[in-house]
Structure 1
Amino acid sequence: MRPVPTGRLFRTATGGDLVLSRTFRAPLTDVWASITEPERTARWFGPWEGEAAPGRTLRVRMAFEEQAPWCDLRIDACEPPRRLAVAMPDEAGTWRMELVLSERRGATELRLVQHLDTDEGLGEIGPGWEYYLDLLVASRDGSPRPDFGEYYPALKGYFDGLVASPAT
């Protein structure tokens, strides 16, 4: 399967928002469970431990990264079953993201929004999120797990192109 990029870049007053989406034929609460319950997040992102609540920091294992490192993930907002805002600090800074869900006619759309201070590295970041969202799809529908090699560097040019012509 050749992945199809869904990412769009929207300019903001402080940088940009990278927005990617997937739609599921499932109730909102079921998709919410896929992004918040540790046994379900383990299938596509990684397991986590700690007390999940706004203002709290969890430990998440990045199960699909090289060496599957553990990292901190702070919950900035949690509005079940529609919005989860988190921040992940690393050596390069802090990744600020939101997962926003909406349901319409029996389908749930999940939008992943990464708030960016700079466009630097978008060609690497975008393919990674496409991969993780397709891992989520595979974890839900039982399809084969995607191979990251099909995403990067194949989608790098698409995401680098967003910097030159962001969505309005």
Structure 2
Amino acid sequence: MAGEGRTGEVDVLAEGVQLRFRRRWPVPVADVWAALTEPDRLVRWIGTYDGLREPGGAGTFTMTHEDTPVGEPMRVVACAAPVRLVVEWDTEGGWRVELDLDQEGDEAVLLFTQLFAPGTDVVDFALGWHWYLDKLDAEVIGGPVPPAWDDFLVEVGPAYGRG
């Protein structure tokens, strides 16, 4: 089934606070890669990207499921289909997200990693990414989408000490 340890894992490292999620699905890696990179699938779970889709490419990324979607500059740092995508965008503190895919038997496994500045309280970020990754689950395996944010927060927030 979708997921594995659904909540994010937080580690305090010398270089900052690392947030990681691991999700798995009973599909080929190529299916997950398509959900991460193809415009018609990307928009269904997170948003839009208008720009060059290659290492060094830049464009505008808009998380269209936010209350007030705002386009932000994004750069593709690495893109090795279908196993690795690294992007950076200008947002609070400058974000870098690494998405690594692997095939383990009949399952595709995604490792999502984001490193924040030392001392960052990542709980709200973890909740947000958890919600979006649940939306990715629905896109990849056709399951139910997570509830609206307020209902999601009631349901999942306590696992993060919120709610």
Would the TM-score normalized by the shorter structure come out above 0.5?
yes
- 1:121-140 matches, cutoff 5 A: 121-140=121-140
8 Å Cα contact 2:25/2:141 also seen in 1: no
Q: Match for residue 166 of structure 1?
A: none
- 1:60-139 matches, cutoff 5 A: 60-90=61-91, 92-139=92-139
Deviation of residue 5 (structure 1)?
A: 4.0
Secondary structure at the counterpart of residue 93 of structure 1: coil
Deviation of residue 100 (structure 1)?
A: 0.7
- What is the one-letter code of the residue matched to 2:52? E
Q: Match for residue 164 of structure 1?
A: none
Q: How many residues align?
A: 158
Q: Match for residue 6 of structure 1?
A: 7
- What is the one-letter code of the residue matched to 1:21? R
Answer with 18-27 or 116-125: which moved more.
116-125
Give the TM-score taking structure 1 as reference length: 0.84
Secondary structure at the counterpart of residue 152 of structure 1: helix
Secondary structure at the counterpart of residue 43 of structure 1: helix
Give the TM-score taking structure 2 as reference length: 0.86
Secondary structure at the counterpart of residue 153 of structure 2: coil
RMSD of Structure 2 on Structure 1 (CA): 2.2
Answer with 141-150 or 128-137: which moved more.
141-150
Change (3 A) 1:153 1:54: farther
Change (3 A) 1:119 1:153: farther
- Give structure 1 stretches of 5+ with no counterpart: 162-168
Change (3 A) 1:146 1:117: same
- Give structure 2 stretches of 5+ with no counterpart: none
Q: Match for residue 165 of structure 1?
A: none
Q: Match for residue 143 of structure 1?
A: 143
Provide the identity percentage. Answer: 31
- What is the one-letter code of the residue matched to 2:49? W
**CA–CA distance in structure 1, aligned partners of residues 119 and 146 of structure 2:** 26
**CA–CA distance in structure 2, aligned partners of residues 135 and 67 of structure 1:** 18
Answer with 10-19 or 41-50: which moved more.
10-19
Change (3 A) 1:119 1:25: farther
- 1:13-92 matches, cutoff 5 A: 13-90=14-91, 92=92
